[in-house]
Amino acid sequence: MLPILLLLLPASSPALAWIPFEDWESGNVTASVGDSGQCICHVSLPDITFPANRVQHMQEVSKDLILEVEIQMKKIVVYSGKLEVYLEELLDLTVRVALLESNPDNYIKLDFELLRIELREFEALVSQLKESLNSSSPMFDSLYTEIHNMTAIVNQLETYDKSNLDMIRIEFAKLQKKLEDCQKDQELIKPDIGNCNHTGILSITKPMVVQMNAHLNPSYQYGGWGKDSKPVRGYESMYFYGGHTTPYVYDFRLFSDYGNLLLRAAFKIHSIPRGWEGAGDNFIIHRNSIYYQLNAPFSMSKLNLTNSKYEYRVIPAASKRFSYSYSTNQNMDFAADESGLWVMYASEESKGKVVIAKIDEKSFGIEDEWSTGAFKQLAGNAFMACGVMYATRSVDLNTEEIYYSYNTQTKEEKHLNIRFQKFQEKYSNLDYNPTDQKLYMYNHGYYVSYNVRFNRE
């Protein structure tokens, strides 16, 4: 209400005649006679000022709410993708439990430890979903409870009779049914290792997301992982990982086998000495030697893991101006396949198009070169398989495609459309391994792999 208005008039003033008597006693108008005989009127008027400050406040609140809704929607999309990935891992766990049951003599403590690790990751995912979506749905509580029950069962079965492994498989089936967003099992492929009697890649399977990097930190977005492409005796099962927060290379971790990779139990960590630090993410291990890009001088570098000897070779034509689209400093891309060791780069002379170079492993020099029609800066990455270079590019946030190939034997170029799923939008390393015919991708801090199917018509 507005402040009271006082009117001082003589009691006999005709101005009072227009005010109805009943209003004098109302809540809006009251009257009284003063000591000097004057009439005092008290008038209260409603506050009709436009509340501009309130409207502005409401607009600000509305903007904040809209932003919060967008953030929550993005979280839903991200966690939806994670659910699909964990479902595939769940299917893999089910198969592994069945193998344990069918081969009780091969039962070891590590098998149960791996199950416990992956159950903890399921638990973390459900907790993140519940907290991020601010949901108190009974579904989340039920999933959380069942994961704890399965963990208890795994612990018990370590001391009970091995035939009780059936219980684990039943519990995994229940959890898989509750998640509801099931996808088909990854297609089983029996690769013909070492045989290039085919016409090229036919398809790529769905991604198998192993887990987050050995640092357990999503900030380690740059790096790579995989297996030795031509292992020496005694290191056939070895895996490597090099992860960094920037596109520079300063150490590598070696794991004796897949189980120790999952347990993050490296048997050796190579810290690269000052002056030999690398750049980019396209490094590989071939014949127990790590090949990576050196920036000072700009060259290809080699670390022999057996004797810890370092070497480098300059490629005069290679340029530092051209990198893949997902990451900087990816100027030299090393690859290995059934026919040997390769390095891919772009030069000023090639006008930014990829040049394939065959590396002579004995002299650590360039044996031969081929110019392709693939612009390096438009490609997400590239790899070699059976003497053919395959270049990839992004289709959308969740899809990548092999769009180009160059055959070094026939000098034939092809434009392809072989699509495959990505776990997350960007990745920093993609390499083919001829020992198991798989693609190894380092996808935004996660180990991801694919089976490759060749056209063997």
CA-nearest of 187, 258, 248 to 226 is 258
Alpha carbons 118 and 111: distance in angstroms, whole number: 11
Q: Which domain holds residue 280?
A: 201-454
Alpha carbons 422 and 443: distance in angstroms, whole number: 8
Confidence at residue 290, expressed as pLDDT on a 0 to 100 scale: 95
Confidence at residue 440, expressed as pLDDT on a 0 to 100 scale: 95
Residue 190 lies in a domain: no
For 103, the 3-state DSSP assignment is coil
Q: Residue 130 sits in a domain of what CATH number?
A: 1.20.120
Q: What are phi and psi of 382, to 5 degrees?
A: -155, 155
Confidence at residue 248, expressed as pLDDT on a 0 to 100 scale: 87
Alpha carbons 127 and 141: distance in angstroms, whole number: 9
State the amino acid at position 423 in one-letter form. Answer: F
- Opening angle at CA 168, ends 162 and 173, nearest 5: 145
The answer to whether residues 297 and 154 belong to one domain is no
The answer to whether residues 265 and 137 belong to one domain is no
Q: What are phi and psi of 448, to 5 degrees?
A: -135, 140
Q: How far is CA 134 from CA 99, 122, 126, 131, in A?
A: 38, 18, 12, 5
Confidence at residue 372, expressed as pLDDT on a 0 to 100 scale: 96
The answer to whether residues 148 and 37 belong to one domain is no
The answer to whether residues 101 and 67 belong to one domain is yes
Confidence at residue 259, expressed as pLDDT on a 0 to 100 scale: 86
The answer to whether residues 260 and 132 belong to one domain is no
Q: What is the DSSP string of 219-233?
A: T--EEEEEE-SSPPT
Residue 381 lies in a domain: yes
Q: Residue 308 sits in a domain of what CATH number?
A: 2.120.10
Q: Kindly state the tokens that stand for 71.
A: 């953030």
Alpha carbons 440 and 335: distance in angstroms, whole number: 12
CA-nearest of 275, 317, 312, 318 to 292 is 312
Per the DSSP assignment, residues forming a β-bridge with 449 are: 208, 440
Burial 157-192 (b: 16+ CB within 10 A, else e): beeeeeeebebbbebbeebbeebeeeeeebeeeeee
- Look up tokens 């799923």; give the residue: 421
Residue 220 lies in a domain: yes
Confidence at residue 425, expressed as pLDDT on a 0 to 100 scale: 78
Confidence at residue 169, expressed as pLDDT on a 0 to 100 scale: 60
Confidence at residue 91, expressed as pLDDT on a 0 to 100 scale: 63
Q: What are phi and psi of 154, to 5 degrees?
A: -60, -45
Residues 6+ apart with CB under 8 A from 391: 354, 372, 374, 379, 381, 382, 402, 403, 404, 405
Alpha carbons 265 and 255: distance in angstroms, whole number: 7
The answer to whether residues 231 and 314 belong to one domain is yes
Q: Is the Cβ–Cβ distance between 423 and 448 less than 8 Å?
A: yes
Q: How far is CA 441 from CA 213, 286, 454, in A?
A: 12, 17, 19
Alpha carbons 52 and 68: distance in angstroms, whole number: 25
Residue 194 lies in a domain: no
Q: What are phi and psi of 403, to 5 degrees?
A: -110, -10
Q: What are phi and psi of 222, to 5 degrees?
A: -100, 145
CA-nearest of 330, 246, 326, 325 to 280 is 330
Confidence at residue 202, expressed as pLDDT on a 0 to 100 scale: 93
Strand pairing of 278-286 and 289-295? antiparallel
The answer to whether residues 152 and 231 belong to one domain is no
Instruction: Reduce the secondary structure of 298-343 to three states and give it as a string.
Output: EEEEEEECCCCEEEEECCCCECCCCCCCCCCCCCCEEEEECCEEEE
The answer to whether residues 127 and 207 belong to one domain is no
Residue 195 lies in a domain: no
The answer to whether residues 245 and 130 belong to one domain is no
The answer to whether residues 116 and 222 belong to one domain is no
How many structural domains does the chain have?
3
State the amino acid at position 251 in one-letter form. Answer: D
> pLDDT tens per residue, the chain (457 residues)?
444 444 444 444 444 444 444 444 444 666 676 666 676 766 665 555 556 666 566 666 666 666 766 666 666 666 666 666 666 666 666 666 555 555 554 445 555 666 667 667 666 666 666 665 555 556 666 666 766 766 666 666 555 545 555 565 666 566 655 554 433 433 344 567 878 889 999 999 988 887 888 888 888 888 899 999 999 998 999 999 998 888 888 899 999 998 899 888 999 999 999 889 998 888 999 999 999 999 889 999 999 998 999 999 999 999 999 999 888 888 999 999 999 999 999 999 999 999 999 999 999 999 999 999 999 999 999 999 999 999 999 998 889 999 999 999 999 999 999 999 887 877 888 999 999 999 999 988 889 999 999 988 6
Residue 347 lies in a domain: yes
The answer to whether residues 210 and 349 belong to one domain is yes
Angle of helix 52-102 relative to helix 109-133, nearest 10 degrees?
160
Residue 184 lies in a domain: no
The answer to whether residues 447 and 383 belong to one domain is yes
Residue 118 lies in a domain: yes
